[in-house]
Structure 1
Amino acid sequence: MGALLDTNFNHLVTPKLIKLWYVIALLLISLQCLFFLFTGLWMATWDNGWAWGLMLIVATPLVWLFEALLVRIVMEAVVVRFKGVEHLRVIKDKI
């Protein structure tokens, strides 16, 4: 809580919260893909829509993989940015 109220921004909050955001993002992606899967299974029971349902069922794992990879790339970019700032702070303190 102290880091949140630090007006000098000497303590960074984002690197500590990134794990939580990543877990939340994976949960939301998984819920979305479960919805896609159940929708595909429901559509597969239709007489005229079984092909669309089958395509949705096949595409669901690919959507999950793509979205999880995209979230991971963004989160890693944020972490790399903050670690760079931490390393620059250590260099500055040595000078």
Structure 2
Amino acid sequence: MMVRATMRARRRRWRDEAPTGELPDASRGGFADQSDLSVQVLASLRRLPADQRVVLVLRFWADASEAEVAQTLGVAVGTVKSRTSRALAALRASGLFVESAKETP
């Protein structure tokens, strides 16, 4: 419950935009590519079940270990491993290549 509440609060929070006297240079390449990737990642994550999405966020965004995630969610470490595996497989199947995923031996 606390993880989901934190995730909701982060989505609503203002992103600290700062007004400037000049607009940034529009000739910089890569922003559109990053934006497209962000949209693609968010869309793929939204298609995942909530339990898999929470595990991915805790493991890869919050950089928590499998044991920490298991303790936070009140599940077994094996459950965290299987949810992570299924979520990454679903992301790969959706065409989103996960290059640097934390895999434990």
Q: Larger % of helix: which?
A: 1
Larger radius of gyration: 1
* TM-score (normalised: structure 1): 0.30
* TM-score (normalised: structure 2): 0.28
